[in-house]
């Protein structure tokens, strides 16, 4: 990767082009006659930089960054699979990218949203979908607001949500945003939900439901899943499926069949839309028939005149975003699902699990694997048994030196020094083997050259950064 680069603000070469603005071809008035002087601004402290300088600057920055197209990206629970280029091409077609959300001639967009809803319903087993949520956490909020509304309509007071301690951090945060308080359930020694504790919590009568991801963040499938959802239902609760880990279940097993009532998906994980360095994503929410009336507005309904969108829905939780969801992302996911079809999606599930287990078996030879069993899409290693006080962070930083991205580290919180590895189905065996080889070398270095690990990374544009100082004295702009 490249060396450091100055900030764009330090590049100002005072070129005052207006290349991107049409020539003004109408009669103008004095600005102050249109808008009073006291409402106008003086300076704009943004430099004028020439196009060539801008392009060089950002191309240089791009070379100081790592993407899936650069190589393996084994970031656990993030499903960093290859992003097919056709998706990008289609999303940029004027017939999709130049459509205004309030224009009338939009039959194509409504049909597309409707069509992907049907496909997602089949994939998850759910009855209805909203494509409105802009990200996974946004979907979680929608799901929880649906639960809140459902009990509000029933006139039942249930204001608690069960979240296992292995859950993604967004789960408790989303539950709180929907006004719930959280009961954290400690996982058992297998990393699974303890049925007796669940039963006890549900018996209290004020629990609205459970949020669960399955396979969970340890990468293992909760074998008691049917009992779990049954217990929750028995006590009048609803079951929420966090779809962040849906990838290994595609074409294998559906959240609905596990007993879930609500599910959110991450189109930017499971359905190949690029993560964009932190979005835009898309977090559709699917529900069982009984909960369809609670979905957010607007929604698309079929009438004699074709598809129309409607705001009217008695029990809806209301609007959760202006206009429609992240449509440009939805287009990409639709292209992906059409490309793969039934067989392709099943192959995703199968190969994602094959790749993860192959990697697990090979890395287990050197690294400690706390939950030693067949995994699904990912697995968790730790720094236990490493010599010379070498830590998970040291390993992660050293991986960067070998030219790869690191696993998710120190998560899930229930495992000390966790390294969460998810290869996805799109990595070749050669790519996996190269990663394994690097991990073996790093393991040897832990014994022979621990200082090198502790001072890693050495081959990146900057060395290990001081996070403590950054939080203590925040510098957030220049």
Partner 1 sequence: MDFVSHDDDTIAEMLKVIGVDKIEDLFDDIPKDILINGLNLPEGLSEPDVLMKLKKLGKKNAVYSNSFLGAGCYFHYIPTLVDFVVSRSEFYTSYTPYQAEASQGYLQAIFEYQSVISRLTKMDVANASMYDGSTALAEAAIMASAITRKNQIILIEGIHPEYIEVVKTYCWGQDIKHKIISLEKLDDELNQEIAAVLFQNPSFFGDIEDTSKIVNLIRKKNPNCLIVQVMTDPTCLGILKPPGETDIDIFVAEGQSFGINPSFGGPGLGIFTAKEKFLRKIPGRLVGKTKEINGTLNGFLLTLQAREQHIRREKASSNICTNQALCSLSALIYLVSLGKTGLREIATQNVQKSQFVKNKLKKIPGYEILNTKPTYNEFMVKCPNVSTLIRECKKQDLLPPLQLSKYYPHMKNVVLICVTESNTKESIEKLFNALELANNNTEGTA
Site for partner 1 in 183-202 (CB under 8 A): none
Interface with partner 1, residue 451, by CB under 8 A: no
Site size with partner 1, rule: CB under 8 A? 203
Nearer to partner 1, 344 or 450 (CB): 344
Distance CA 264, CA 175 (A): 14
Q: How far is the CB of 188 from partner 1 (least distance, A)?
A: 15
Interface with partner 1, residue 136, by CB under 8 A: yes
Q: Residue 74's CB: how many other CB atoms inside 10 A?
A: 27
Of positions 130, 148, 219, 238, contacts partner 1 by CB under 8 A: 148
Interface with partner 1, residue 320, by CB under 8 A: yes
Interface with partner 1, residue 439, by CB under 8 A: no
Of positions 138, 158, 160, 264, contacts partner 1 by CB under 8 A: 138
> Which segment (198-206, 234-242, 441-449, 465-473) binds partner 1 by CB under 8 A?
465-473
Interface with partner 1, residue 469, by CB under 8 A: yes
Interface with partner 1, residue 114, by CB under 8 A: no
Of positions 210, 232, 258, 390, contacts partner 1 by CB under 8 A: 258
Q: How far is the CB of 147 from partner 1 (least distance, A)?
A: 11
List the one residue out of 308, 25, 263, 43 whose CA is nearest residue 144: 263
Of positions 246, 299, 317, 420, contacts partner 1 by CB under 8 A: 317
Of positions 154, 157, 289, 429, contacts partner 1 by CB under 8 A: 429
Distance CA 224, CA 220 (A): 12
Interface with partner 1, residue 147, by CB under 8 A: no
Interface with partner 1, residue 75, by CB under 8 A: yes
Q: Is 412 helix (H, G, I), strand (E, B) or coil?
A: coil
Q: How far is the CB of 252 from partner 1 (least distance, A)?
A: 6
Torsion of CA 315, 318, 323, 327, to 10 degrees: -70
Residues numbered 380-419 forming contacts with partner 1, rule: CB under 8 A: 396-397, 400, 405-406, 408, 411
Residues numbered 197-256 forming contacts with partner 1, rule: CB under 8 A: 220-221, 223, 225-226, 250-254
Q: Are 242 and 168 in contact (CB under 8 A)?
A: yes
Structure tokens belonging to residue 124: 């998850």
Using a 10 angstrom Cβ sphere, with 0-12 exposed, 13-18 middle and 19 or more buried, the burial of residue 379 is: buried
Nearer to partner 1, 243 or 457 (CB): 457
Using a 10 angstrom Cβ sphere, with 0-12 exposed, 13-18 middle and 19 or more buried, the burial of residue 171 is: buried
Distance CA 431, CA 447 (A): 25
Using a 10 angstrom Cβ sphere, with 0-12 exposed, 13-18 middle and 19 or more buried, the burial of residue 447 is: exposed
Find how far residue 143's CA is from the centre of its chain. 16
Nearer to partner 1, 96 or 368 (CB): 96
> Which segment (44-52, 232-240, 378-386, 442-450) binds partner 1 by CB under 8 A?
44-52
On the CB side of 316, how many CA atoms lie within 13 Å of its CA?
14
Q: How far is the CB of 334 from partner 1 (least distance, A)?
A: 8
Torsion of CA 417, 422, 427, 430, to 10 degrees: 30
């Amino acid at each position: 990767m490249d060396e450091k680069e100055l900030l764009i603000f330090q590049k100002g070469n005072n070129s005052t082009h207006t290349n991107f603005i049409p020539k003004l071809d109408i009669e103008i008035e004095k600005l102050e006659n249109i808008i009073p002087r006291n409402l106008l601004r003086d300076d704009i402290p943004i430099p004028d930089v020439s196009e060539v300088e801008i392009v060089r600057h950002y191309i240089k920055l791009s070379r100081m960054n790592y993407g899936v197209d650069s190589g393996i990206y084994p970031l656990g629970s993030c499903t960093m699979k290859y992003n097919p280029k056709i998706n990008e091409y289609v999303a940029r077609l004027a017939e999709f990218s130049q459509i205004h959300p309030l224009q009338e001639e939009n039959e194509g967009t409504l049909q597309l949203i409707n069509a992907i809803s049907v496909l997602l319903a089949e994939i998850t087993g759910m009855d209805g979908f909203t494509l409105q949520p802009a990200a996974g956490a946004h979907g979680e909020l929608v799901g929880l607001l649906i639960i809140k509304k459902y009990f509000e309509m029933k006139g039942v007071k249930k204001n608690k949500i069960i979240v296992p301690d292995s859950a993604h951090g967004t789960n408790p945060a989303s539950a709180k945003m929907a006004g719930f308080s959280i009961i954290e359930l400690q996982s058992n020694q297998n990393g699974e939900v303890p049925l007796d504790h669940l039963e006890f919590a549900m018996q209290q009568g004020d629990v609205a439901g459970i949020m669960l991801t399955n396979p969970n963040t340890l990468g293992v499938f909760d074998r008691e899943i049917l009992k779990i959802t049954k217990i929750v239902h028995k006590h009048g609760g609803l079951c929420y499926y966090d779809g962040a880990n849906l990838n290994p279940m595609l074409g294998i097993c559906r959240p609905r069949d596990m007993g879930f009532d609500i599910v959110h998906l991450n189109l930017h994980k499971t359905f190949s839309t690029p993560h964009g360095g932190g979005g835009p994503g898309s977090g559709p929410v699917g529900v069982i028939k009984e909960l369809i009336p609670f979905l957010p507005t607007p929604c698309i309904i079929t009438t004699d005149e074709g598809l129309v969108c409607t705001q009217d829905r008695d029990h809806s939780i209301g609007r959760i975003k202006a206009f429609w969801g992240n449509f440009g992302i939805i287009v990409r996911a639709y292209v992906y699902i059409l490309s793969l079809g039934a067989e392709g999606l099943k192959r995703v599930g199968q190969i994602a699990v094959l790749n993860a287990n192959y990697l697990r078996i090979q890395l287990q030879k050197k690294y400690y694997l706390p939950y030693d069993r067949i995994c699904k899409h990912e697995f968790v290693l730790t720094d236990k048994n490493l010599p010379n006080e070498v830590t998970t962070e040291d390993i992660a930083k050293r991986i960067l030196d070998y030219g790869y991205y690191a696993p998710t580290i120190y998560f899930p919180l229930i495992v000390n020094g966790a390294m969460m590895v998810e290869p996805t189905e799109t990595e070749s065996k050669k790519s996996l083997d190269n990663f394994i080889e690097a991990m073996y070398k790093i393991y040897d270095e832990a014994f022979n050259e621990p200082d090198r690990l502790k001072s890693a990374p050495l081959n990146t544009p900057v060395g290990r950064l001081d996070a403590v100082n950054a939080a203590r004295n925040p510098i957030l702009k220049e």
